[in-house]
Amino acid sequence: MSLDTASMVRMANAVRALSMDAVQAANSGHPGMPMGMADVATVLWGEYLKHDPKAPDWADRDRFVLSAGHGSMLIYSLLHLAGYAAPTMEDIRNFRQLGSPCAGHPENFLLDGVECTTGPLGQGLAMAVGMAIAERSLNATFGNDLVDHRTWVIAGDGCLMEGINHEAIGLAGHLKLGRMIVLWDDNNITIDGSTDLSTSENIKARYEATGWHVVECDGHDFGDIRRALDEALSSERPSLVACKTVIGKGSPNKQGTSATHGAPLGADEIAAARAELGWDAAPFEIPSEVLDDWRSTAQRGASARSEWNGRIENHGDRPEFERRMAGDLPDDFSLDSYIASLMAEPQKVATRKASEMALGHINEMLPETIGGSADLTGSNNTKAGGIGPFTADDRSGRYIYYGIREFGMAAAMNGMALHGGVIPYGGTFLVFTDYCRAAIRLSALQQTRAIYVMTHDSIGLGEDGPTHQPIEHVQSLRMIPNLLVMRPADTVETAECWEIALREKTRPTVLALTRQNLPQVRTDASVTGQSAKGAYRLKSAENARKVILIATGSEVHLALECAAELEKQGVGADVVSMVCTQLFDEQDDAYKADLLPDVSPSEVLRVSIEAGTTFGWDRYTMTNGLRIGIDRFGASAPAEDLFAKFGLTVDAIVPQMMNKLNA
């Protein structure tokens, strides 16, 4: 059912009015995009988008992503007009003010109906790829009755110019994600001015070259928009709908220029726009007939949800589907017996291999995992447990060959996690977190359960040299709020870390794993679950304690060897394995004080050992402690030579400690 054109015009103008008024009130924001895309968005939300404002968390809703997140007033307007409980008009009045859910950019944790946080350009569209993957994956398991929805994106020129766009559409085109439709706000304007300033690209040809279906429309002609969307719906390939629009449409003197992009229109121009649009309602008031029209569109989604409720009610898969959408692990999930087997038969393997071993069990027990790697499957050891590839022809696969697309992979993982029903993990070399750091940050901000399997985590990777050797990476990731960074020391800790990461529903995890083999440091089956405390005492001083060695990952066994040498010399030394600093920081004071007692360095010297930057380790060693690490770029050589070169050996470390003790 379509509303008549006059109604549609008013509905779209309601979006324009709210957008320009809210930006004006805040004296900050971006009116141009919402005004330019108001007509397209009105058709999409009014007639196509499958959603029910009364049930924003309905599992089978279409996902809508405003990739051009700076145009946030578009989605705030749509949510309000369509009848979501929030934002209220008061929230919109307080656009960009402290405490309003109508933040400068849309935040998934502030409003239902905002499927993901956008603003960092290009990432919304790339997350949508992950949502579309999750949808097809769940569809393969649960069928059309339960899972049958689309992913819609509104994106601007910025989203398309960013490098991640190439990765995202390459992946979507290859995987033939036909239920993903991108509405491109083709307005020829960026912040700096005309797109001619910086690009000469034929975007439609590029999308076609990448396996997409492309259709165009006049973004201000409702009929033409409908025709284009219908064409997009009929394609088996993902679709780009190039919507030719005028930025700031409705602002008589500024429309079509970058002046409308990122600044309020000003009171005079808003008055002129009201006249132009024939909109005479006061700011933040929506005429009742317009609101009624908008609210009437909700019936479509409500009916669909009612039918879906009928289908799921007695569906045999209902408990499993609901468990997965709730993000709960199966009640009987546990790695305890696997860990017990490790205790019984200690193994010297790389932690990347230990991760593969753990994944073998995890992937068998948890059908919701979807793994992958950015073209380093054999190096990241991410394919385990017999899972096969997720492809255009086989949606039942649970392994994604992401290609050489680290950023696209990480963003897709965010999209999958946000969609729900699946738990994504994916790998690359730790040093290449630099390629996807912006997405890892969004994992943390959005509180998604994305698990990053980052191998080759130090100079221990050896010959590939400084471009491939992380130095600052582990510490710099530890700085990102709400991100768990885990650097396990052996098979047992690796398994424990995996279990923690899987149980963290609102925090992403980076697992930093070695290329090189490591001896198993945990063999006491009576002591379990230690990694959950973030740090724990792995070895207690035998002589009177004079030293506490704090190490992570591949340096834990080195710390044990140093401690053994100290004990030989009559110096008692604890060894603390600090698997995850963030989890340790969350422990109670008594636990922390027991592990790292607050006594002067002359009594007990604290020493950190990590094969990376020493920057920031003061917080655990205290100022007068000793920090062993690498504060320069690495080098190309066999790993053993590098550990020697950079002083990460017993012979190099123990004398430094003795000097400090004797000072």
**Beta strand residue intervals within 564-657, DSSP E:** 572-578, 605-609, 626-628
> Angle 318-326/123-146 helices, nearest 10 degrees?
160
Residue (139 or 433) nearer to its own copies, CB: 433
Residue 379 assigned as binding residue:
yes
What strand order describes the sheet that includes 626-628? 535-539, 572-578, 545-551, 605-609, 626-628
Residue 592 interacts with its own copies (CB under 8 A): yes or no: no
Backbone angles phi, psi at 38, to 5 degrees: -60, -40
Residue (201 or 289) nearer to its own copies, CB: 201
Residue 120 assigned as binding residue:
yes
Residue 187 assigned as binding residue:
yes
Contact stretch for its own copies (CB under 8 A) within 264-272, 419-427, 430-438, 523-531: 430-438
| Calpha distance 316→305 (Å, rounded) | 18
- Per-residue HEC secondary structure of 444-463 comes to HHHCCCCEEEEECCCHHHCC
Residue 167 interacts with its own copies (CB under 8 A): yes or no: yes
Q: Which of 63, 213, 220, 468 binds its own copies (CB under 8 A)?
A: 468
Which residues in the 120-149 window bind its own copies by CB under 8 A?
A: 120-122
Chain centroid, CA 54 distance in Å: 27
| Calpha distance 530→217 (Å, rounded) | 59
Residue 594 interacts with its own copies (CB under 8 A): yes or no: no
Q: Which of 3, 11, 22, 29 binds its own copies (CB under 8 A)?
A: 29
Which residues in the 363-382 window bind its own copies by CB under 8 A?
A: 373, 375-379
Residue 515 interacts with its own copies (CB under 8 A): yes or no: no
User: In a 10 Å sphere around its CB, with 0-12 CB exposed, 13-18 middle and 19+ buried, how is residue 126 labelled?
Assistant: buried
Q: Which of 278, 316, 319, 481 binds its own copies (CB under 8 A)?
A: 481
The interface mask with its own copies, positions 438-457, x = CB under 8 A, is x--xx-xx------------
Residue 115 interacts with its own copies (CB under 8 A): yes or no: no
Place of tokens 């290609």: 403
Backbone angles phi, psi at 317, to 5 degrees: -90, 5
Contact stretch for its own copies (CB under 8 A) within 31-39, 91-99, 133-141, 284-292: 91-99
Chain centroid, CA 419 distance in Å: 11
Residue 638 interacts with its own copies (CB under 8 A): yes or no: yes
Which residues in the 252-281 window bind its own copies by CB under 8 A?
A: none
Residue (360 or 403) nearer to its own copies, CB: 403
Residue (408 or 421) nearer to its own copies, CB: 408
Residue 652 interacts with its own copies (CB under 8 A): yes or no: no
> In the complex, what is the shortest distance from the CB of residue 57 to its own copies, in angstroms, rounded to a whole number?
23
Taking CA atoms, 269 is separated from 38, 143, 576, in Å, by: 18, 52, 65
> Which residues does residue 152 pair with via DSSP β-bridges, in sequence order?
64, 181
Residue 189 assigned as binding residue:
yes
Which residues in the 328-357 window bind its own copies by CB under 8 A?
A: none
Residue 599 interacts with its own copies (CB under 8 A): yes or no: no
Question: Tokens for 371?
Answer: 């793994």
Question: Tokens for 638?
Answer: 């066999």
> Which residues does residue 370 pair with via DSSP β-bridges, in sequence order?
424
The interface mask with its own copies, positions 616-635, x = CB under 8 A, is x-xx--xx-------xxx-x
Helix (H, G, I), strand (E, B) or coil at 661: helix
Residue 240 assigned as binding residue:
no
| Calpha distance 5→245 (Å, rounded) | 18
- Could you give the residue ranges of the DSSP H alpha helices within 252-347? 267-277, 288-296, 298-313, 318-326, 336-344
Catalytic: which of 115, 356, 368, 406? 406
Residue 605 interacts with its own copies (CB under 8 A): yes or no: no
Residue 119 assigned as binding residue:
yes
Question: Tokens for 596?
Answer: 């790292």
Residue (538 or 626) nearer to its own copies, CB: 626
| Calpha distance 368→426 (Å, rounded) | 14
Residue 252 assigned as binding residue:
no
Residue (53 or 170) nearer to its own copies, CB: 170
Residue 478 interacts with its own copies (CB under 8 A): yes or no: yes
Residue 70 assigned as binding residue:
yes
- Could you give the residue ranges of the DSSP H alpha helices within 99-162? 123-146, 157-161
Residue (380 or 577) nearer to its own copies, CB: 380
Residue 157 assigned as binding residue:
yes
Q: Which of 32, 36, 87, 170 binds its own copies (CB under 8 A)?
A: 170
Q: Which of 5, 202, 234, 309 binds its own copies (CB under 8 A)?
A: 202
Containing 369, the helix (H) or strand (E) segment is: strand 369-373
| Residue 276: active-site member | no
Checking DSSP bridges between strand 239-244 and strand 517-518, what pairing results, if any?
Answer: unpaired
Convert 375-398 to b/e letters by CB count within 10 Å (16 or more is b).
bbbebbbbbbbebeebeeeebebb
Q: Which of 142, 338, 390, 402 binds its own copies (CB under 8 A)?
A: 402
Residue (79 or 304) nearer to its own copies, CB: 79
The residue type of 48 is Y
| Calpha distance 66→262 (Å, rounded) | 16
Cis peptide before 87, with omega less than 30 degrees from 0? yes
Which residues in the 43-72 window bind its own copies by CB under 8 A?
A: 69
Residue 515 assigned as binding residue:
yes
Residue (147 or 203) nearer to its own copies, CB: 203
Q: Which of 31, 53, 71, 119 binds its own copies (CB under 8 A)?
A: 119
Backbone angles phi, psi at 425, to 5 degrees: -135, 150
Q: Which residues are annotated as a binding site for thiamine diphosphate?
A: 70, 119-121, 158, 187, 261, 432
Give the residue numbers annotated as catalytic, written as ranges: 406
Q: Which residues are annotated as a binding site for Mg(2+)?
A: 157, 187, 189
Q: Which residues are annotated as a binding site?
A: 30, 70, 119-121, 157-158, 187, 189, 261, 352, 379, 432, 456, 464, 468, 515
